[in-house]
Amino acid sequence: MRLWMAAILVAGTALPLAACNRDEIPKEDQAATAAPRKIYETPTRKPGLWKQVMSIQGTPISQTAELCLDPDSDKKLAWWAQQGVRSGCAKNEVTRRPDGSWGFSYACDMAGGIHTNTSGKATGDFQSAYTVTAESTTTGAAIPQMNATRTVVIDATWTGECPAGMAPGDMRLPDGRKMNVLAASNDDDAAARARAAVAADTAAADASAGIR
């Protein structure tokens, strides 16, 4: 469960830039760009309940959660960052690759001097299933175990309509508890607890896998 808490809370707020679903050049850079980059409309996920299996490569960690989405929450919860890319990120790019997959990258500065660089790709139709693979490097964290490069994989499958009792933005965690991702992402105290929790989880996983 703590892995999902960290995925939701550690990387930033749930409310992305208004243009977060498109790859655009900042206005101040357009004049200096001879050939403006193409704007891509990124795929939207089918409304309903998505089962998401998250794992960290090189560790035994693998956890499953369920996320309820409607069109509005899908826009706010970017698939390439789960909780969305914070508006303070220095870089936020999503591009369509020749093979039909989607590439993405973003760099963010967080509270406490923490800096993250993330890049990866996504495949799938986003209507029945998709897979996101992201390599993320964290530096500047006070908790030593957080300062590392890790690859996270999310395999998501659409399972049907959201059940009664689950509203858009609600996530059912591996332990059965339910939380609203949009609300939780703005809880600074919860984010601090999640950072400590994921550090403990990944340190334990690294130790069991013989990673130093």
The 10s digit of each residue's pLDDT in 162-212 is: 999 999 999 998 888 898 887 766 555 554 455 455 555 555 555 555 544
What's the burial of 14, exposed, middle or buried (CB within 10 Å: 0-12/13-18/19+)? buried
CA triple 150-190-163, angle to 5 deg: 85
Q: Give the model confidence (pLDDT) of 23-40 as tens digits.
A: 333 344 334 334 444 556
Mean pLDDT estimate for the chain:
74
Sheet with 62-69, strands from edge to edge, namely 91-96, 102-110, 114-124, 129-139, 149-160, 48-56, 62-69, 170-172, 178-180
Sorted by where each begins, the domain ranges of the chain are: 2-14+40-209
Least confident of 12-21, 150-159, 195-204: 12-21
Determine contact, residues 171/4, Cβ cutoff 8 Å.
yes
